[in-house]
Structure 1
Amino acid sequence: MENKNHMIDAIHIGDYKTGTSWLQCHSFQQHPELVYVDWPSTYPEIAKLFYELVGARDLDFDSIGLRDRFKAEIDKIDRAGRKLIVSREALCGEFVSGEHARRIAERLFQVFGPTKIVLVIREQFSMLASIYSQYVKIGGTLSLRDFIWDPLEARNLIARLQYEKQIQAYVEIYGTENVSVRLFDELRHDKIRFLKEIFSFIGCQDVDFLPVEAGLTNPSLTTIGVTCQKVLNRFVRTHNNPSANVLPLDKLVALLLSSRQKESLLKSAMVQLPWASVQENPRPYLLYAINMALNLRFSEWCESIRLGRKIEIPGDVRERLHAVFVPGNRMLVSRYGLNLEKYGWVL
């Protein structure tokens, strides 16, 4: 039965690069007992509200008003006995630094009240390599080694990989019984058990449900893919590369777009930037949307390049970070019973 006391039955907060896209596309959307309520193409207004929940300034955040607006949209959904689930990796905080993770946790509680929280974490060195790949996909141009230690691009990167801090924050807010921590390694090596644990925690009756198999979703780049992407990134303006473009490709594309295409792009920008003043001056937001679209096309092409090696963290970097991760990992084992040794985490 659905939880009539809460708007949402479970919130999957990510983490980034832990199979979140696969879970969203092939598990939460396929399970007959679940409604994935923040899928942008199906529930665009709810997706827009989540952008606001995550990104609104502290001075502008209105938990009561936002709760009422969420409720108005969620009440339109025909639950038909199904459970409502949210899945959004941005709820873990800013991608590289993990900034605002606790603030977001508190906002979720203020808006939705006590509910079930699912967090998937990934072995730190594997996560570092995957974060670097994603950093390049979204516009980054630094080398792997430079990125890891860069005080601007990778601010707080190492601290955000000390997962025990974020887990403890959610336990303090929601209670131990309402927080489930799973390992990405389980998804890779024992998918049946991984999904069964999540579905059982959410409260599904059919915990043995298996989605239709699909290929990789959002795969990491190879070393050659990284090289190609970094060259292409010089032609688009993104959050990780905000300087002027080598070639004003966005402005050239804007000249070729129809009014209808421009309107569609502006609409997409409004979803991601709900606080934007598009009506006052739409052109910067149009160029923003064009750059995001170009960046997406470039990254999809570079993902398809399977030549080259897998991204690996250099041995000397591993040695320097080993002692940083050990205390927290041991806490994860003792406090939450996670079998980290089985999957090669540093202990």
Structure 2
Amino acid sequence: MAAPLLIHVGYHKTATTWMQQYLFRAENGFIPVAGHAEVHDFITDPHGLLFDPEKMRNEIAAKSENIPNGAVRVISSEILSGNPFFGGHESDVFAERLKQIAPDAKILVSIRSQMRILPSIYMQYILRGGTMPFDQFFAGERSFGYLAFTPEHFEYHRLIAHLQGLFGRENVYVLTQESLTADMEGAARALADAVGNTQFSGLSEDAKTVRAPSYPEYAVPFLRRANHFQKGPMHPNPVIGLGAENRTLYRAVGFAMRRPPLSSILGGRHPVSDYVREQFAGRYDQSNQKLASLVSHPLDLSGYDGIA
């Protein structure tokens, strides 16, 4: 019989890159069989009238030979939870496509407290070339037919309930970023146990190294203005186009903002987080409570709004 297939759908900014680089490795009993490129080409990019589940099935099959006993095949790409800059409106469609591709798959959903993930999402928007100030970004102003940020995307219970309806409650595993922060080894082992990975024997030392944080929030006014002069996914036609991958000006501004004297003067300011706490206070209480009732495995949501 084929090894179990685990599909990690995100969310964005929930240690997904760390998992892809350090957890989902063959030596950990997690065998990657598709990544961002394949997910984009065969799942998220095709027009609905052109989507063919057989193409992704063939891709998985081609990379599923000689899988060791006790190992688990993995597909990990946070784009499967939808684009958070535009409200993640396609997340339900992607879930249904996954059901057509691999109806017996196990699903991993990684989440993070909304009061922490929303500032991180905005900082990612800036990193990708965005130019809107955070109050405008979070306002999610939309015209007919044009999408923008929506807070509903981070009502986790909605997507998780939909995935449970498609794949079965017992086949949807929820992992918090907070559990990884508190006990990286324990959280990874609990995931391995839940999905039938008997080869996992512990994380390597390089996996436990703390990664460099993003640029500080107080740098936002300077970073987003730098984006007016550099090409990026969220700003493809800047005043001066230096190339899609050339982020020299952005990095130079970020470098300067992290260091004295600016870091000494502005270091205590967290304007994006402050705005999110004020603007979305109580917004996710009911969603988090519903999420707690949906999940059958142990899930520590302490620190999430609405959870005692």
The match for 1:234 is 228
Conserved in 1, the CA contact under 8 Å of 2:11 and 2:110? yes
SS of match in other structure, 1:338: coil
**Equivalences for residues 1-347 of structure 1 within 5 A:** 3-4=1-2, 9-29=5-25, 31-39=27-35, 47-48=37-38, 50-71=40-61, 73-75=62-64, 77-81=65-69, 82-96=71-85, 97-152=87-142, 155-214=148-207, 215-217=209-211, 219-242=213-236, 244-250=237-243, 291=244, 293-295=245-247, 306=258, 307=263, 308-309=267-268, 311-313=270-272, 317-336=276-295, 338-340=299-301, 342-347=302-307
Residue 225 of structure 1 deviates from its aligned partner by 4.0
SS of match in other structure, 1:84: strand
Conserved in 2, the CA contact under 8 Å of 1:26 and 1:212? no
SS of match in other structure, 1:182: strand
Residue 211 of structure 1 deviates from its aligned partner by 2.6
Measured against aligned partners, the alpha-carbon deviations of 1:4-38 in whole angstroms (never above 9, x if no partner) come to 1x7x6111111110001011111112634221223
Conserved in 2, the CA contact under 8 Å of 1:147 and 1:154? no
Q: Given residue 305 of structure 2, which amino acid in structure 1 is its aligned partner?
A: W
SS of match in other structure, 1:322: coil
- What stretches of structure 1 of length at least 5 have no aligned partner? 41-46, 251-290
Q: Given residue 333 of structure 1, which amino acid in structure 2 is its aligned partner?
A: A
Residue 229 of structure 1 deviates from its aligned partner by 2.6
SS of match in other structure, 2:192: helix
Measured against aligned partners, the alpha-carbon deviations of 1:151-189 in whole angstroms (never above 9, x if no partner) come to 149824301011100000100000011000111111111
Q: Distance in 2 between matches of 1:200 and 1:129?
A: 32
Measured against aligned partners, the alpha-carbon deviations of 1:292-345 in whole angstroms (never above 9, x if no partner) come to x124x66666665533356454656534423321111111223326332x2243
RMSD, aligned CA = 2.7
The match for 1:263 is none
Conserved in 1, the CA contact under 8 Å of 2:35 and 2:77? no
* Percent of paired sites with the same residue: 24
Given the superposition, is the C-alpha separation of residues 238 and 183 from structure 1 closer, same or farther in structure 2, using an over 3 Å criterion?
same
Conserved in 1, the CA contact under 8 Å of 2:231 and 2:241? no
Q: Given residue 79 of structure 1, which amino acid in structure 2 is its aligned partner?
A: I
Instruction: Count residues in correspondence.
Output: 291
Q: Given residue 132 of structure 1, which amino acid in structure 2 is its aligned partner?
A: Y
SS of match in other structure, 1:209: coil
Measured against aligned partners, the alpha-carbon deviations of 1:97-121 in whole angstroms (never above 9, x if no partner) come to 1121111111111112211111111
Q: Given residue 224 of structure 2, which amino acid in structure 1 is its aligned partner?
A: K
Conserved in 1, the CA contact under 8 Å of 2:33 and 2:60? no
Given the superposition, is the C-alpha separation of residues 198 and 302 from structure 1 closer, same or farther in structure 2, using an over 3 Å criterion?
farther
Q: Distance in 2 between matches of 1:30 and 1:66?
A: 21
Conserved in 2, the CA contact under 8 Å of 1:225 and 1:303? yes
SS of match in other structure, 1:180: strand
Q: Distance in 2 between matches of 1:303 and 1:187?
A: 27
Q: Distance in 2 between matches of 1:321 and 1:225?
A: 22
